[in-house]
């Protein structure tokens, strides 16, 4: 793998890669498995930084929020796949995303050195938002991403780890879909790559058939799949964000199974990769 990786290491040096680490990667597993998965992810991110890339981690935490709401006997309601977020639920979401998931990822990376800095979309007006739908409460729609803070951290050779809470002009916080936030952040940074780590090996033509994995797809075809209803569930916001990012300056987007050991390295530094790659056209690289 190292021999195969050499040309990619040279090519991607000094480029920005936005990595969305899904909360579902760490859900439903034992504490030991969760710790091991996070350890391997942190190793991948650190190696990317050490070979000259600029990783930016954006994380979700939906399953962890759900677990905490259950412990607190707070009932969750979903509409069109989105959690209705009242003030009490928003407080729990902020606590889990900023105070738990973000800290866990930062700590895992920082076992390798003083590298990661945890931030929220509330910090330095990173993610500006407004109400997505009044019936959903404090679920946010991104109106602007200001990458100034991220540019400063990257210039200091640090790794930003971003919890996806945004704010409006009055300082009201909103819970932002992490898939959508990752795409918007990647576009704002003009990233070389946007990578989604999730709990499925990539995009399938037939959701029920693992053998139908799509290795590479052009953004036009992917957009057509969105329009004709070929996609469903949690894959829809990921694909929408991939399409938005690639059409707005991101060179390539990837969807892959974050549970696979060293998934990031295998996708970025090998010829064929292991997941689905979205491009503007051309050969698989």
- 196 belongs to a structural domain: yes
State how many domains the chain has.
1
Give the global pTM: 0.92
- 75 belongs to a structural domain: yes
- 122 belongs to a structural domain: yes
Per-residue pLDDT for 254 more than 90?
yes
pLDDT more than 70, % of the chain: 95
Give the least confident one: 211-220, 231-240, 251-260.
Answer: 231-240
- 7 belongs to a structural domain: yes
- 104 belongs to a structural domain: yes
Task: Give the model confidence (pLDDT) of 155-165 as tens digits.
Answer: 999 999 999 99
- 284 belongs to a structural domain: no
| Mean pLDDT score across all residues of the chain | 90
Confirm if 256 and 275 have CB atoms less than 8 A apart: yes
Task: Residue 174: count other Cβ atoms within 10 Å of its Cβ.
Answer: 27
- 285 belongs to a structural domain: no
Task: Give the model confidence (pLDDT) of 164-210 as tens digits.
Answer: 999 999 999 999 999 999 999 999 999 999 999 988 888 888 877 88
Per-residue pLDDT for 29 more than 70?
no
Per-residue pLDDT for 27 more than 70?
no
What's 22's domain CATH number?
3.40.1160.10
CB hemisphere CA count around 10 (13 angstroms): 5
pLDDT for the residue numbered 285: 41
Q: Which residues span the domain enclosing 240?
A: 2-279
Distance CA 104, CA 35 (A): 9
- 16 belongs to a structural domain: yes
pLDDT band at 76 (very low <50, low <70, confident <90, very high): confident
Residues 216-243, mean pLDDT to the nearest whole number: 86
């Amino acid at each position: 793998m190292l021999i195969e990786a050499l040309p990619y290491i040279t090519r991607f040096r000094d480029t920005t890669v936005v990595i969305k680490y899904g909360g579902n990667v760490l859900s439903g597993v034992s504490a030991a498995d969760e710790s091991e998965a996070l350890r391997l992810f942190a190793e991948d991110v650190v190696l990317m930084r050490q070979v000259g890339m600029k990783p930016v981690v954006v994380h979700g935490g939906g399953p962890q929020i759900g677990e905490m709401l259950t412990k607190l006997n707070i009932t969750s309601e979903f509409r069109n796949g989105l959690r209705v977020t009242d003030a009490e639920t928003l407080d729990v979401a902020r606590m889990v995303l900023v105070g738990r998931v973000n800290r866990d990822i930062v700590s895992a990376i920082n076992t390798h050195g003083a590298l990661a800095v945890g931030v929220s979309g509330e910090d330095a007006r990173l993610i500006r938002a407004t109400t997505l739908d009044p019936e959903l409460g404090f679920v946010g729609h991104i109106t602007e991403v200001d990458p100034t803070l991220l540019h400063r951290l990257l210039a200091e050779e640090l790794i930003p780890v971003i919890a996806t809470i945004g704010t409006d002009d009055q300082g009201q916080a909103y819970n932002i879909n992490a898939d959508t936030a990752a795409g918007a952040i990647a576009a704002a940074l003009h990233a070389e790559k946007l990578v989604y780590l999730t709990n499925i090996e990539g995009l399938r033509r037939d959701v029920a058939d693992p053998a139908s994995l799509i290795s590479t797809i052009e953004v036009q075809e992917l957009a057509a799949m969105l329009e004709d209803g070929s996609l469903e569930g949690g894959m829809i916001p990921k694909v929408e964000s991939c399409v938005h990012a690639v059409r707005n300056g991101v060179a390539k987007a990837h969807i892959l199974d974050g549970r696979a050991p060293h998934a990031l390295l295998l996708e970025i530094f090998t010829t064929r990769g292991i997941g689905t790659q979205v491009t503007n056209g051309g050969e698989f690289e």
